[in-house]
Structure 1
Amino acid sequence: MSRPESSQKWSRWRDLPRAFGAMAGICPNCRRGKIFKSLWKPRPTCGVCGVRFEREAGDWLGAMVISYAFAVVLLLALAVVLIVRWGLFEGLEWVLVGAGILITGLLYRPSKGLWIWWMWGAGFLITDEQAPG
């Protein structure tokens, strides 16, 4: 007897290896295809299973929110460490701005992959043949 579809979708949320794989740039659906075709550009679909990674025009906003949240936490931690170690010194804000730019760039791909996994877990990542209409 097969499990109901809602139960199958719920089990997707517990599949953390797929989340970590997506953060590394691997398709969460088939675990073989690549999410990115270059350093910054994601593929429109998985080359192996055909899942479309971005169905709507604003799908990237979720990845931006994830990246922003991680960057804020990391910059806050860095600021606390710097202030505790050296106090409020001249140029602290420039150190944090530079670190913020670096952290944001480094977090882009993992955040995008985590968002794609999130969309997959919610059942929004489907092939074009499965799309309604």
Structure 2
Amino acid sequence: MTTRTASARYEGFGKDGKGHVSTGSGVLADQPYGFGTRFGDEPGTNPEELIAAAHASCFTMALSFALAKEGLTDGLLQTTAKVQLDKEGDGFKVSRSDLSLEANVNGIEESRFREIAETAKANCPISKLLNAEIGFDYRLNGS
């Protein structure tokens, strides 16, 4: 079993509050977040951006390992995740995460690539974690 940690601190309440988020690895250390970073253009991060980063990186790694299992050894995978936050009643809900993949992979038929990519999308740990619709599109470059 592997356990990773992150922490968040929020000083003040509501729109006037200010938060900081850190990861156990130290990659993020006291990064600011709050109403202005979540719903405005203030510098800092927000939970949806962090989920998008986690989903994009998890899916891309899962696909990489699946392609290696197929005997492929060289290529490039570039994924962007867009996480959507919607108003729901008095609160909000992350309603979906859309993965967009640009892949440069030689030596695989598109139908087989799509099958492997769809399996990676469904089975990467972050996809399994999210209780939201997960959209997916891709563009395969190569032959």
Provide the TM-score with structure 2 as the length reference: 0.32
Q: Which has the higher strand share?
A: 2
Report 1 or 2 for greater relative contact order, CA contacts < 8 Å, sequence distance ≥ 6: 1
Provide the TM-score with structure 1 as the length reference: 0.34
Which has the higher Rg, Structure 1 or Structure 2? 1
